[in-house]
Structure 1
Amino acid sequence: MQFFYTGTDSTLDQAEVDSLAGKYSIPGQYMCRETMNNEASCTYSLNGIFVYQEMLVSGFCLPLLDEILHIMKYYQIALGQLQPNSWCRLIAFIVFFTLLNHVPSVDLFRRIFSLNVEKETNEETNVKIPTGWYHLNSRKNAPKILGSQRPSL
């Protein structure tokens, strides 16, 4: 069974989570629960997926395609850690290869894209530190099948 976790606001209680699940028509195979004190919504989990409430408001829906779950599992990143433009690239990859009657596998995905961590410069130390966000770039020798692969701003 897959699990569905929700809540960017640690003050959400189980009744509010259940209300969100009903409002956004979360399928019954997902167990909806609030995040616990030691859980961050932008953390990868083997036991389930974390979803920000804002993702639901902006149109995110379940169930997820298996290809998305396989790619997220391979890279061990949470749904909320992938930048919006990279989501577009991921979906375009799946649609493109499905229309060509090819299985959009993790191996094929890895041949075309690389996953890169976003970094910001610490103003005091001038050292770049990871932000927790990730973006997809086209590999240098990969075919440019999905157009420009400039990272998000």
Structure 2
Amino acid sequence: MDEFQLTQTHYVPAGYTARNPGNHDKVNSAGEGELAIPLEHFEVGFCLPLWPEMRQALRYYGVVPVQLNPNSVAILVAFICYMQSERIEFSLPIFRNLFTFRAKGRVVLFSGQLLRTTGLANKHHHWGDKFVFVSGDFGNVHLAPIQYEYAAYKPPSLGSREIALLEFFGTKDFDVQFLRHGVDSILPVPPGEGTVPPLSCYSLYFQD
């Protein structure tokens, strides 16, 4: 089964269309209404249609998926999965405090700011060379990279409930592979409906 068939069958649902790049196509050769998505992104949990939380993060940082390396995608997916599994409304401010945003050329990297991440790949080789062009409904995510703004680098201030959750995260290792185990069944938590359970219930999801 060639790459296009594999991608179309397993990663690209009805309502979206994937096409293989031509011999001379690059990630910036996407046509109007298309996104270039590396195959490794799908393998670490990137999903279509885009989760609301993923759209929010991409819009805030002003990036397209191909600008995130696979480990950064895995970190974002794991964080979304964890918050959803605990019925906690996705919090971009907490994510920004937990993980450092860094732009390296045209690639965006997330790394642990207040916690240590485990379960990440040691190396990714040529991940940007294996991709497909996908067209469909991406919401209001930018289809072309925009300039990074300084605000994306500076973590915001938090409220008291967010600080308590942040302090809990800061005492544990963030096991990326384990946290994204429920990626196939993830459902969004509607704004205003998320709750913050007692911190004691979090202990199963992290390594001591």
TM-score using structure 1 length: 0.54
C-alpha separation in 1, matches of 2:68 and 2:57: 11
C-alpha separation in 2, matches of 1:135 and 1:26: 25
Q: CA deviation at 1:112?
A: 2.4
Match of 1:72 among 58, 61, 84: 58
Instruction: Say if 1:77 and 1:92 are closer, same or farther in 2 by CA, change over 3 A.
Output: same
Counterpart mapping for 1:2-151 below 5 A: 22-24=8-10, 26-32=12-18, 40-41=26-27, 47-53=33-39, 55=41, 61-118=47-104, 130=105, 132-140=106-114, 143=167, 145=169, 147=173
SS at match of 2:77: helix
Instruction: Tell me the percent identity.
Output: 23
C-alpha separation in 1, matches of 2:57 and 2:73: 12
Q: CA deviation at 1:26?
A: 1.9
Aligned residues: 122
C-alpha separation in 2, matches of 1:53 and 1:28: 18
Structure 1, residues 85-142: CA drift from partner, whole Å, max 9, x if none? 2222212211222233211132332232231123xxxxxxxxxxx2x22211333595
Q: Using the TM superposition, name which of 82-91 and 66-75 deviates more.
A: 82-91
Greater share of residues in strand? 1
In the TM superposition, structure 1's runs of 4+ consecutive aligned residues that sit over 6 Å from their partners are none
Instruction: Say if 1:81 and 1:19 are closer, same or farther in 2 by CA, change over 3 A.
Output: same
Instruction: Say if 1:58 and 1:137 are closer, same or farther in 2 by CA, change over 3 A.
Output: closer
TM-score using structure 2 length: 0.42
Uncovered stretches (5+) of structure 2, i.e. residues with no partner: 115-154, 156-165, 176-208
Q: Counterpart of 1:122? A: none
Q: Is the 8 A contact 2:41 2:70 kept in 1?
A: no
Uncovered stretches (5+) of structure 1, i.e. residues with no partner: 1-15, 119-129
Tell me the C-alpha RMSD between the 2 structures: 4.1
Which one-letter code corresponds to 1:95 in the other structure? Answer: C
